[in-house]
Amino acid sequence: MRDAHPRERAVGMEYYVSDTDGVGGQLRDRDGDFRVVEREDFAAEPLSESTDDYPYLVVRATLSGWDTNDFARQLSNDLGISRGRVSWAGTKDKYAVTTQLFTIQGVEPDDLPELGGVELEVVGRAGRSLLFGDLRGNEFQISVSDADAPENADAISDELREFGGGTVAVPNFFGQQRFGSKRPITHKVGLHIARDDWEGAVMAYLGNPHDDEPDESSAAREFVDETHDWQAALDEFPHRLRYERSMLHVLAENGGEEPADFREALEVLPENLQALFVHAAQSYAFNLMLSERLERGLPFTKPVAGDVVCFSDTSPDSDLVLPDVDRLQAVTEKRVDTITRHCERGRAFVTAPLVGVESELGDGEPGEIEREVLDELDLEPGDFDLPGEFYSAGTRRAILVSTDCAVEQDPLTFSFALPKGSYATVLLREYLKVDPMAMG
Residue 418 scores a pLDDT above 60: yes
349 and 312 in one domain? yes
User: Out of 29, 41, 67, 93, which one is annotated catalytic?
Assistant: 93
Mean pLDDT for 6-31 is: 93
Quote the radius of gyration of the chain (alpha carbons, Å): 23
160 and 207 in one domain? no
Q: Is residue 406 part of a domain?
A: no
Domain CATH for 339: 3.30.2350.20
Q: Is residue 158 part of a domain?
A: yes
Residue 317 scores a pLDDT above 70: no
Distances (CA, A) of 162 to 4, 61, 377: 19, 38, 32
150 and 17 in one domain? yes
> 357-401: per-residue pLDDT in tens?
999 999 999 999 999 999 999 999 999 999 888 999 999 999 999
Q: Is residue 379 part of a domain?
A: yes
Q: Is residue 305 part of a domain?
A: yes
Instruction: Please confirm, yes or no, whether 148 is among the known catalytic residues.
Output: no
Residue 427 scores a pLDDT above 70: yes
pTM for the full model?
A: 0.91
How far apart (Å, rounded) are the C-alpha atoms in residues 417 and 405? Answer: 8
* Domain end (from 220, 252, 269): 269
Beta bridge partners of 15: 3
Mean pLDDT for 261-286 is: 93
47 and 149 in one domain? no
Residue 193 scores a pLDDT above 90: yes
pLDDT over 70 for what percent of the chain?
Answer: 99
79 and 131 in one domain? yes
107 and 7 in one domain? no
Quote the mean pLDDT of the chain.
92
Determine the pLDDT at residue 318.
54
Q: Which residue has the higher pLDDT, 313 or 164?
A: 164
Q: Is residue 404 part of a domain?
A: no
Cβ-Cβ contacts under 8 Å for 375 (sequence gap 6 or more) = none
Q: Is residue 403 part of a domain?
A: no
> Model confidence at 314, in pLDDT bands (50, 70, 90)?
low
Read off the amino acid at residue 259. Answer: P
Determine the pLDDT at residue 367.
96
148 and 132 in one domain? no
For residue 20, give its domain range: 2-27+144-172+413-439
Q: Is residue 159 part of a domain?
A: yes
Q: Is residue 179 part of a domain?
A: no
How many separate domains does the chain show?
A: 4
Contact 428, 378 (CB under 8 A): no
Q: Which of 273, 412, 290 is nearest to 351 (CA)?
A: 290
Determine the pLDDT at residue 271.
87
155 and 219 in one domain? no
37 and 108 in one domain? yes
Residue 267 scores a pLDDT above 80: yes
> 46-84: per-residue pLDDT in tens?
999 888 999 999 999 999 989 888 999 999 999 999 988
Q: Which range among 22-36, 227-241, 387-401 shows the weakest confidence by mean pLDDT?
A: 22-36
Mean pLDDT for 204-223 is: 91
Determine the pLDDT at residue 90.
86
Determine the pLDDT at residue 315.
61
* Domain end (from 214, 241, 269): 269
